Amino acid sequence: MTLIRPTERTTLHRMPQRASYDRALLERILDEALYCHVGLVVDQQPYVLPTIHARAGEQLYLHGSSASRLLAKASAGIPICVTVTILDGLVLARSVYHHSMNYRSVVVLGNAVEVTDQNERLAALKAIVDHVIPGRWNDVRGPSQQELKATRVVRLPLAEASVKIRTGPPIDDENDYGLPCWAGEIPLRLERHSPMPDPRLAPSILVPDYATGGR
């Protein structure tokens, strides 16, 4: 098992049994999550924004419009935080206090840099598209020079990061197990439903497998 070295900032002090620094597990969570939340600071105010990410090896890539002021800030090397959370279930305990959620989350801290090498930029954009819909990149028109110019790509190393996980049934106080209320887990899953063709799609064009498959 390859471990990520915990730092003071990524060490979980509370509920350390929920923490993990297993790199393979961290990568699986990042790969399964369809989007992340990026935190960055401007004039002492934190901002948290949802965006798509992709992992390639030990790097995390984000992208956005070249005109985005926040992404420009992020790419200038200020500290950022990227968090992904996959909600797996609601945990219903016998007391209010022990109610919880089952989840898998990853927190990555670090300083992003803008990617300027054109090959790396293209590879990152392909990774982002194919992360969400594997195989999609090769089926559609690639980016034009103008579109590439309008897109900023930033890279964050997966160097300072931690995983937090909760699984399983509620953990009740021993005295509460005799209470007459239901207790257990309600599993949650983000499901893909039947694809809705673009109103302007030619009827002869069939839905590709990657748009119908469950996840």
Q: Given the complex with a second copy, which of 79 and 117 has the nearer CB atom? A: 79
Least distance from a second copy to the Cβ atom of residue 167, Å:
11
**CB of 59 or CB of 68, closer to a second copy:** 68
Closest to a second copy by CB, 27 or 183 = 183
Q: Enter the tokens of residue 132.
A: 């969400």
By C-beta, is 119 or 194 nearer to a second copy? 194
Q: What one-letter code names the amino acid at 33?
A: A
Smallest gap from Cβ 79 to a second copy, in A, equals 5
DSSP, res 10 = G
DSSP state of 144: P
Taking the complex as a whole, the smallest distance from the CB of residue 22 to a second copy amounts, in Å, to 19
Distance of closest approach, residue 23 Cβ to a second copy, in angstroms: 20
DSSP state letter for 174: G
In the bound state with a second copy, the residue whose beta carbon lies nearer, of 2 and 138, is 138
Tokens of 129: 């598209």
146: left (phi over 0), alpha (psi -120 to 50) or beta: alpha
Q: Rounded CA gap, 104 and 106, in Å?
A: 7
Residues 6+ apart with CB under 8 A from 9: 109, 160
Q: Least distance from C-beta 150 to a second copy, angstroms?
A: 8
Whether 209 and 126 have beta carbons less than 8 Å apart is answered as no
CB 37 within 8 A of CB 17: no
User: What values do phi and psi take at 152, rounded to 5?
Assistant: -105, 135
In the block, which residue shows the tokens 């399983």?
168
CB of 133 to a second copy, least distance (A): 6
Q: Measured from the CB atom, is 1 or 206 closer to a second copy? A: 206
